[in-house]
Structure 1
Amino acid sequence: MKSLLISILFFYSLNGVADEKSAEIKSRMSDCDEVTSYSDIEVCYLKLNTQTDKYLNSEYAELINYLDKLENKLHKQRLIEAQRAWIKFRDSDCLFYSDNQPVRMYQCLQSKTFQRLKELENMNTPFAMGCNGCGVLGS
């Protein structure tokens, strides 16, 4: 019973670690909302997008690395295809939304990239490692 409790606490602590990246970004997003000049808002979101994209790429690489170890490579290929499609959607949707206004573009990119970061973080938890329905490592 004691070992079960320790295992549960361990899994929950790992989930908290994964959310640290998005929690940091969420905190910095509110900083950008407090900036008042247009050029400062633009710079703030540009820097924030760079950091969010870095975290997103890190989460993605971790998932790809995990899925590459599975015997069935179909899950890895599906994630690659999904990520490519998501990038095209994000960019097209933000271009439509922003009407080529830089601050609106950066805000849109930030919002969508942050949302995707949260999705990938959730896939990187011990309970969903890699995807929904994937076989466990070695199966």
Structure 2
Amino acid sequence: MHKLLTVLVCLLPLTAFAEAQDPCLTQRNTIEINACGQKQFEQSDRSLNQVYQSLLKKFSDKDTPDSQNSVIKQYLVNAQRAWVTFRENDCKAIYTYNEGGTIRTIAYLGCMTQHAAQRTKDLKEFSSSDQ
């Protein structure tokens, strides 16, 4: 029993340290709120990139001389580039609108995260509708 108690006492500071390192668990100030927003954006952007790359690969794997997969793939690439430009400009507008306040960074990151989540959903729907 004494050994178990010793182990638990040693582990408690480690869990507290881990929680302190995750800004999304505390969010006590603007810096932590922004760090959490950045973390959430990076996660959503990573997910988007995985789905997008998977979709491109899906059309690359099926390339044959008589298929339209290369045309579809090029449309997807063009659409993604246009979407990235749209997302950046849309979120920069939000950032600029909030430029005088401390909310500007989290508003920008929230915009970027929401757009990435929606685009991920759209690409997943496109992929699942493929015959």
Query: Is the TM-score greater than 0.5?
Result: yes
Within the candidate set 50, 55, 74, 1:58 is matched to 50
In structure 2, C-alpha distance between the alignment counterparts of 1:106 and 1:79, rounded to whole Å = 25
1:78 corresponds to: 75
* Counterpart residue identity of residue 94, structure 2: Y
2:40 corresponds to: 48
In structure 2, C-alpha distance between the alignment counterparts of 1:60 and 1:84, rounded to whole Å = 12
> Secondary structure of 2:75's match?
helix
Post-superposition CA distance 1:47-96 (Å, at most 9, x none): 11111111100000111011122421111000000000000000001001
2:121 corresponds to: 118
Between the aligned residues of both structures, percent identity stands at: 29
> Secondary structure of 1:124's match?
helix
1:105 aligns with 2:102: no
Cα RMSD between the aligned structures?
Answer: 1.9
Label 1:120 to 1:36 Cα distance change in 2 as closer, same or farther (>3 A).
Answer: farther
In structure 2, C-alpha distance between the alignment counterparts of 1:41 and 1:124, rounded to whole Å = 34
* Counterpart residue identity of residue 39, structure 1: I
**Structure with the greater relative contact order (CA < 8 A, sep ≥ 6): 1 or 2?**
1
* Counterpart residue identity of residue 43, structure 1: A
Query: How many Å apart are 1:124 and its aligned residue?
Result: 2.5
- TM superposition score normalised by structure 2: 0.67
Query: How many Å apart are 1:112 and its aligned residue?
Result: 0.8
1:4 corresponds to: none
Query: How many Å apart are 1:114 and its aligned residue?
Result: 1.0
Q: Which stretches of structure 1, 4 residues or more, deviate above 6 A after TM superposition?
A: none
- The structure with the greater share of residues assigned to helix is 2
* Counterpart residue identity of residue 35, structure 2: V
